[in-house]
Amino acid sequence: MLAQGSAHGDFPIIDSHIHLYPASHLSELNWTGTLPTNHVLKRQNSVDEYRSATQGRSNLRGFVFLETDRKSGLSEHEWRGALDEVDFLVRIARGVPRSDEGHTPEDARLLLGIVPWAPVPAGAEILARYVKLVQQRCEEKWTVVKGFRYLVQDKPAGLMVQSQFIEGLQWLGNAGFTFDLGVDARSGGLHQPQEACEMMDRVYSDKNTLKIIINHLCKPNLQLTASEALGGHPDFDNWKRYVEKMASFNLTYMKLSGMFSELPPQDENSPADIASLVERTKPWADVVFKAFGPSRIMFGSDWPVCNVGGPGTEPSWSHWHALVGAVLESQGLSPEEKARVWSGTAVEAYDIKTPCIIDQKQQ
């Protein structure tokens, strides 16, 4: 039985979506070259910084790491950056940090799952070869790898429905892995979630057991006001239709994450009021909770990306945590349902096996 937390809502938390990278790896990331030198993401963001952002919260049981979009490609000679990232995560899992990597031996307990990059569009044979290399690097920590991601939000239209992509996803399902789906309805276009629905139709046509974990509500157009969204705006109406379609597949999950970078940016000196944020995001939250239900929704901070649009590098994680808590309250969830969102759904979706999240009855 999952712990329900105290009367004050102090539920055990699993942060289902964070990124980590030492400063020495910045040159290996696809997106850092386009950022100014003083950007909040263009610096070391490792476990030390994450612990600081979470302010030593005692009910934080750990996190799931998501790949950080390394420079990589479908051919084997382009895998070095992604495999370097795996090596970095394995050092965290083993508790054997290198100098200046930003983690300590004690941080191994926080790493509950790894979702590395994988060349999914290359098809089953090449994908299997890559996964074997990941396994060889993980050795005794192999079970911490829960699934894989190939970020599609910046890829050409049509990729997700190509036969090799479908074949790769079905191979992941047959091998017992999850797939994290990252599409961007606002910046990438509504064709992305539409295509993702067609992809799911094909993946599940043969009763495949792949768990697809959808990132960041598919990044809807949160620049709209609530009244604009509910007034028939096509960005909202189409997004809603695609999310409902995704939820119709019973092996899909949704991460309650990623809103800060899509909402209007906040001022560090005057962060947006939580109540006003709940009201502004209510149309989207209502759709997601009605479609998926709390049993298939999980908390994720998207740290350190939550610092983009959030109220600064120190308070943004806690501000997002407070917003999620207020959203769960506004949805009228029971304590059991809240516990699912804070940790239980992530445990189920990622098959996390750790005694730290099991409720011990008080004597």
Domain ranges of the chain: 13-352
Instruction: Write out pLDDT tens, residues 118-146.
Output: 999 999 999 999 999 999 999 999 999 99
Residue 3 has pLDDT above 80, yes or no: no
Q: pLDDT value at position 87?
A: 98
DSSP H helical ranges for the chain? 47-53, 80-94, 124-138, 163-174, 191-203, 226-230, 234-247, 274-292, 316-330, 335-339, 345-350
Q: pLDDT value at position 358?
A: 44
Amino acid 182 reads G
User: pLDDT band for position 270 (50/70/90)?
Assistant: confident
Q: What is the mean pLDDT of residues 154-177?
A: 98
Instruction: Write out pLDDT tens, residues 78-106.
Output: 999 999 999 999 999 999 999 999 999 99
Q: pLDDT value at position 9?
A: 59
Q: pLDDT value at position 44?
A: 97
Q: pLDDT value at position 6?
A: 40
Q: Is 249 exposed, middle or buried (0-12, 13-18, 19+ CB in 10 A)?
A: middle
pTM: 0.95
How would DSSP label each residue in 153-194? TTSPTTGGGSHHHHHHHHHHHHTT-EEEE---TTTT-THHHH
Q: pLDDT value at position 316?
A: 97
Question: Which contiguous run of DSSP H or E holds residue 271?
Answer: none
In CATH, 13-352 is 1.20.1290.10: no
User: pLDDT band for position 355 (50/70/90)?
Assistant: low
Q: What is the mean pLDDT of residues 297-307?
A: 98
Residue 209 has pLDDT above 70, yes or no: yes
DSSP SS3 for 248: coil
Separation of alpha carbons 236 and 231, rounded Å? 9
